[in-house]
């Protein structure tokens, strides 16, 4: 069955819909025949990300900050709560807004779902596991997070959002689910958002040194955005509460990632080692047993293919 089957004619609200993952969700839902209301305050998202949907029947853009109550003037079938600064550059620049989006923003999005008896899906993150002492990480692991470190504004915002979502489901019977996204990448990322993939691609295309932090042996598990969107929609179509990990179990070190991007871009860039950020996780890899068993989902796009697609998108913008 198509991952978008069953969304035709349904009204979906996507908070953070002009952001990286949110805009891909809006695109997939419109293509599936859903009516989509994209809610975004453009603090980190851009109208460019959804410009291709402007004027399309069934697509509406609502410029609103979800930390304040917002109104959607027609019944809603699905609320996908993806509003939040998600990159280090953004959540370190907007620490209070990040915490408020995870708390007040989640409360307001849940209120909208409760109003119409909608399915609600929270975008959480692998960052709730912190610098994990369990590897790979399954959904039963409670995590190892520094609650007062520089990354805590994002980590704890998402941990609180998960707690609030579960409390809402228990107290009011809201049909709520949680997905934990692992290192999603792809077109529409910003070159200066601080995450490794867009940073390395931007540097390689410009012929600049690729800045690898520490010794580069820390690992991440990269999930191409199309795979992540399929998983989110599978979760939305289910009645599963979760949380459910969505990612790719193929680990790669940051040094290997940098070398791969240099090769794929044909760049003459060198690698420069820089200081590693405080509380930067040493490893990151999802246990996908639950997603495979309950959602019949697993990633399809390997790193070589996904990085090539992403580089092509960045190159087109760079050349332009």
Provide the CATH number for the domain around residue 79: 3.40.50.720
* Structural domain includes residue 205: no
* DSSP symbol at 187: T
Predicted local confidence at residue 318, as pLDDT: 72
- Choose the catalytic residue: 154, 185, 192, 224: 154
Which pLDDT score is estimated for 4? 57
3-state secondary structure of 246: strand
The tokens of 178 are what? 């949680």
**Exposure string for 42-58, b = 16+ CB within 10 A, e = fewer:** ebbbeeebbeebeeeee
Q: Is residue 200 part of a domain?
A: no
User: What is the enclosing helix (H) or strand (E) of 225?
Assistant: helix 225-237
Q: Does 276 fall in a domain?
A: no
DSSP string, 104-154: IIHHHHHHHHHHHT-EEEEEEEGGGGBS-SSSSBPTT---B--TTSTTHHH
Q: What does residue 8 show for φ and ψ, rounded to 5 degrees?
A: -60, 130
User: Is residue 179 domain-resident?
Assistant: yes
209: closest CA among 155, 159, 163, 259? 259
Element (H, E) at 272: strand 271-274
Question: pLDDT tens, position by position, for the chain (320 residues)?
Answer: 345 558 999 999 999 999 999 999 999 999 999 999 999 999 999 999 999 999 888 999 999 999 999 999 999 999 999 999 999 999 999 999 999 999 999 999 999 999 999 999 999 999 999 999 999 999 999 999 999 999 999 999 999 999 999 999 999 999 999 999 999 999 999 999 989 999 999 999 999 999 999 999 999 999 999 999 999 999 999 999 999 999 999 999 999 999 999 999 999 999 999 999 888 899 999 999 999 999 999 999 999 999 999 999 999 987 65
CA-wise closest residue to 198 among 43, 307, 316, 46: 307
Assess if residue 316 is contained within a domain. Answer: no
**Residue 129 belongs to domain spanning:** 11-185+223-249+283-300
Domain-embedded: residue 100? yes
**Rounded distance between C-alpha atoms, residue 320 and residue 315, angstroms:** 8
297 vs 27: CA distance, rounded Å? 20
pLDDT at 1: 39
* Selection from 164, 169, 162, 72 nearest residue 125 by Cα: 162
Residue 184 structure tokens:
């999603």
Contact 89, 50 (CB under 8 A): no
* Count: domains in the chain: 1
- What 8-state DSSP symbol labels residue 108? H
What is the pLDDT at residue 319? 66
Tell me the two tokens of residue 214: 């520490």
Whether 136 is covered by a domain: the verdict is yes
**Contact (Cβ atoms closer than 8 angstroms) between residue 185 and residue 146:** no
Is 275 part of any domain?
no
User: Which helix (H) or strand (E) is 233 found in, with range?
Assistant: helix 225-237
Q: What is the token pair recorded at 221?
A: 């598990």
154 is catalytic: yes
- Rounded CA-CA distance 92/129 in Å is 19
Between helix 106-116 and helix 152-172 the angle, nearest 10°, is: 20
Residues 6+ apart with CB under 8 A from 171: none
Say if residues 275 and 215 touch (Cβ distance below 8 Å): no
């Amino acid at each position: 069955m198509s991952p978008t089957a069953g969304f035709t004619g349904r009204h979906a609200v996507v908070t953070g819909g002009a952001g990286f993952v949110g805009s891909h969700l809006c695109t997939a839902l419109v293509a599936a025949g859903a009516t989509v209301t994209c809610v975004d305050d453009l603090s980190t998202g851009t109208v460019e990300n959804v410009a291709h949907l402007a004027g399309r029947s069934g697509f509406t853009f609502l410029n609103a900050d979800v930390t304040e109550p917002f109104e959607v003037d027609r019944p809603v079938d699905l609320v996908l709560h993806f509003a939040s600064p998600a990159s280090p550059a953004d959540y370190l620049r907007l620490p209070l807004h990040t915490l408020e989006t995870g708390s007040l923003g989640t409360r307001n999005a849940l209120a909208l779902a409760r109003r119409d008896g909608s399915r609600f899906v929270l975008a959480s993150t692998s960052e709730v596991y912190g610098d994990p002492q369990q590897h790979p990480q399954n959904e039963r692991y409670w995590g190892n997070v520094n609650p007062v470190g520089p990354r805590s504004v994002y980590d704890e915002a998402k941990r609180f959002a998960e707690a609030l979502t579960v409390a809402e489901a228990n107290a009011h019977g809201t049909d709520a689910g949680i997905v934990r996204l692992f290192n999603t990448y792809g077109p529409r990322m910003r070159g200066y958002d601080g995450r490794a993939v867009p940073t390395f691609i931007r540097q390689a295309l410009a012929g600049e040194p690729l800045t690898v932090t520490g010794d580069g042996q820390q690992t991440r598990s990269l999930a191409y955005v199309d795979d992540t969107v399929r998983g989110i929609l599978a979760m939305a179509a289910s009645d599963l509460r979760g949380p459910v990990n969505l990612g790719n179990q193929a680990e790669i070190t940051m040094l290997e990632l940098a070398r791969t991007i240099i090769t794929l871009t044909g760049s003459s860039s060198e690698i420069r080692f820089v200081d590693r950020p405080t509380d930067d996780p040493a490893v990151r890899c999802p246990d996908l047993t639950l997603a495979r068993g309950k959602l019949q989902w697993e990633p399809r796009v390997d790193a070589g293919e996904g990085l090539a697609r992403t580089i092509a998108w960045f190159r087109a913008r760079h050349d332009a």
